[in-house]
Chain A
Amino acid sequence: MPPSDYDPASLPDLLPLYYRRLFPFSQYYRWLNYGGLQKNYFQNREFSFTLKDDIYVRYQSFNTQSELEKEMQKMNPYKIDIGAVYSHRPNQHNTVKSGTFQALEKELVFDIDMTDYDDVRSCCSTPNEIFYYIPEDFGFQHLLWVYSGRRGVHCWVCDEAARKLSVAARSAVAEYLSLVKGGEETVKKVILTDPIHPFIKESLVVVEHYFPRYALQDQDILGRKESVDKVLSLMPEDILFFICCMDFQNEEKPEGRWKLIKDQSTAKKGQHFEKEIMLQYCYPRLDVNVSKGVNHLLKSPFSVHPKTGRISVPMDFKDLDKFDPFAVPTISLICEELDRPRKGDDDEKSEEIKENEKDAAERRKIRDYKRTSLAKYVKYLDQFLDGMAQSWKGDLLRKSDLQKEF
């Protein structure tokens, strides 16, 4: 459901304003250019736009930031996707010999799917903490977290090593991280066997912490009969019998019911169904297919979600679990904020006259987004980019040190 302040029909009016005055082009370019360390990295990157009436244009690419800006301001895309860095300019893909145009690199991405959960509000309070282990286990450091605009979260792993991963490696990483598996024909989606891998153990610590609030209270999985049945179907039959004989039905409180289940599980050696249930209900779900492909397109940060009007904003990693999707500004809100009278307007104007025109326009744009609720999120991106720049500096220093040694 779109938020009350947003009307999808207003999009054609709002988008030009958004791209002209609010979209943080300079950070955006700074990100995808990756410090210019690799030749043509930005230039060979594919963008795709979804225009009005679902017209979909792939293989857009741009030589410079200003070319990107001009094109976006001209096309006013309803949605922007980012694709791979190719061997050639994507907009010339038709002119190169077939077979030689190849996707070479892309960030490793995760699409954490929340469509299954009933309660949207708690979507981002699920234990995204689990993804602290991506850096720990795989040694990646630069993770950009982006709200998808609706019910999910995207994670862009931007380390150089991650961008260079093969398809096989991407899918192995995604498989490693997905504990909940299986489609509509699988009821039991988590099966644990001994010994329990350290990664799962660590995840369980997080999940155990969230389970009572998130599953028992918010989702009320042991309240309604329907959902109780679902939970019970995840248990082995002999135990089920046992539980049903006991005062399961008399026990009204979900916490009490959960305790009965838990006691059964710990009573039996080699049984992990209590853990399995917790994981199945609390562990974030990954769409492995999105992570697998190098050439898979994913919605870009700062793209607008056409249905909800919400901006796909970067999130603060440290506060992932406090992130509130309903606090994310819609395009209508930030455009409106622009129109509010600003303080100290006159002073600035007199200053501006001194500047040459282009600079002034540039500076005005920066100030523009700063006057809206977008500012906070652009700052997250800035922080993320600073972090990356830091580590490049480290690399460069190390490299030059090495050279000195010789």
Chain B
Amino acid sequence: MQFPGRRRKLNNNLQTELYGHSLQLYAQPPLENISLSEFESFAVDRLKLLKTTENLGVSYVKVSEDYAKKLGAELKTLNFPYRSENGPSEYEKRRKDHISHFILRLAYCQTEDLRRWFIQQEVDLFRYRFNELNAKQKLEFLHKNNLQYDTISVEEKKPLLDKLVNSSYAVSGITVEDQDFYKVPFQDALDLIRTRKVYLKAGYAYIPHQDVVTIILNDFRTRLSKALALTARSLPAVHSDERLQPLLSHLSHAYVGQDYSIQKNIGKISLDQIDSLSGKSFPLCMRQLHQSLRENHHLRHGGRMQYGLFLKGIGLSLEQALQFWRSEFIRGKTDTDKFDKAYAYSIRHMFGKEGKRTDYTPYSCMKVILSNSPSQGDHHGCPFRHSDPELLKQKLQFYKVPPSGISQILELVKGMHYQLACQKYFELTHNVEDANFSLNHPNQYFVESQKLLGGGKNVKREVENSQKSQENTAARGAREEANSSQGVDKMTEELDSFFQDD
């Protein structure tokens, strides 16, 4: 690989400056040329890292010790900067961190969904890494990146003392006095506001130094989302690059796993099967929705979306879906006319027949667990996450799960391992030792259950196939594509040309 001599020298200085701290805000795009093989391996490693971040975030509390340990281990194995050790290969690691981040920006700027996923993982990763820094390194980081926030004076602090202590877990009466408090517009500390972990007055949040990470994260998130929007606009340039394009699209497809929106299943299920399937092969979340639909002849919006898309995913056609919902709703307070006016639209919408014509995909566990949590009158959500343990217990007893199994499940729930709890439930109700898959989608639950019960042979095969192709890690997929579309394992494209500030 050829570097033009002069430029390299210049770059080197710049790069050393750039990598002065183990953590960075990725303000500058990389300036050097890299080989296609490096490009690819960096990208794949970061993707692995982000996927791990995602998985750990579901199974553990994000600031817990276990979470930190596991994420730390992953950073180490994948050769990313870890605990800012200053070993001989530190420079290489930081460079990898830097470049790989920017490659994934290219792959993940294309749609709203991809951007959201990418930002979330990067922010989580950043939080972890910032928290791992010691006090001195944190200050250095703030300094280096020119992050300055307004602090409040001692006089200002005094009358607020009581309130400051009661607003945060991070401070006690003693520490308030000698701790810096930052005063920022509440919009810059949304995570703390949402959870009521900060004192709020007249639109300003008073943040103890210990929580400064929140402001930085907020900053990081805002910058990243702006940057991604800009990058998206330069996409045509990337798309016209025949070596990059397939690689990037592979990378971006690897993120959520299968989306279960495949239309091949259509018509494999008849409506009168649903009741019995709901007992045998539906995960609890869907069983619960089905039951309350049958009981109340109604579901509120959140429930209709979650359940409707699931049903679409297991193979209901639009016509079937309309018939299914209509027949249930008109047994309640809704008459046919009202149904056609008020609800039919949204069902056709789900199938991409109205409005923006987006073909909506069934919700993953992650989405069910994390977004739009149920409120008054709602039955959607994940029972392992959103039910009272006591109710969950009763429900499991009612479904004849053995007592020992119930306590195992409740244990997992307590540790916030909702998907693992669900998987345990699967194992217990299907009489298998080990489910042999890692659950991340209600439709996956259904498919696996059908596989075991030997039903829906056709459904099974198709899904298996598509899963297999998905199991090809991004690495393999990317490599194949790259090799076939280009014989030479070299790339002289400059990455930075894609990151210009417009």
Contacts and interface: CB of A to CB of B under 8 A. Distances in A.
Interface stretch (B97-105, B387-395, B438-446): B387-395
Contacts of A175: 193-195
A187 B390 contact: yes
Given A169-B187, A195-B166, A200-B196, A184 B377 contact: yes
Nearest to B160: A198
B1 interface: no
Contacts of B302: 289
Contact of B375 (A140, A176, A181): A181
A55 B338 CA distance: 11
A138 B391 CA distance: 37
A297 to B, nearest CB: 13
Given A139-B203, A139-B204, A197-B166, A183 B386 contact: yes
B375 A188 contact: no
B370 to A, nearest CB: 13
A383 interface: no
B33 interface: no
Contacts of A87: none
Nearest to A184: B379
B373 interface: yes
A185 B374 contact: yes
B381 interface: yes
Interface in B226-243: none
Contact of A198 (B199, B341, B374, B379): B199
B387 A186 contact: yes
B201 A136 contact: yes
A346 interface: no
A341 interface: no
A305 B465 CA distance: 54
Given A172-B193, A185-B391, A188-B388, A138 B376 contact: no
Interface residues of B, number: 43
B203 A138 contact: yes
B342 interface: yes
Interface residues on A, range: 35 or more
B167 interface: yes
B190 A285 contact: no
A183 B166 CA distance: 28
A232 interface: no
Interface in A157-197: 161, 165-166, 168-169, 171-173, 175-176, 181-188, 195-197
Nearest to B172: A195
Contact of A54 (B191, B338, B356, B373): B338
Contact of B166 (A115, A184, A201): A201
Contacts, number: 111
B378 interface: yes
Given A185-B288, A288-B375, A172 B194 contact: yes
B200 interface: yes
A196 B288 CA distance: 34
A287 interface: yes
Given A185-B388, A187-B390, A140 B203 contact: yes
Interface string A195-216: 1111111000000000000000
A285 B376 contact: yes
A129 interface: no
A132 to B, nearest CB: 13
A1 B103 CA distance: 61
A278 to B, nearest CB: 18
B376 A183 contact: yes
A185 B200 contact: no
In the A-B complex, the 6 residue pairs with the smallest Cβ-Cβ separation, listed nearest first, are A139-B203, A183-B374, A183-B378, A139-B202, A172-B190, A172-B194
20 contacts: A54-B341, A137-B202, A137-B203, A165-B187, A169-B187, A172-B190, A182-B373, A182-B375, A184-B292, A185-B391, A187-B391, A195-B166, A195-B167, A195-B169, A197-B197, A198-B163, A285-B375, A285-B376, A288-B375, A289-B302
Interface of B: 163, 165-167, 169, 186-187, 190-191, 193-197, 199-204, 288, 292, 302, 338, 341-342, 356, 372-381, 383, 386-388, 390-391
Interface of A: 54-56, 98, 113, 115-116, 136-140, 161, 165-166, 168-169, 171-173, 175-176, 181-188, 195-201, 285, 287-289
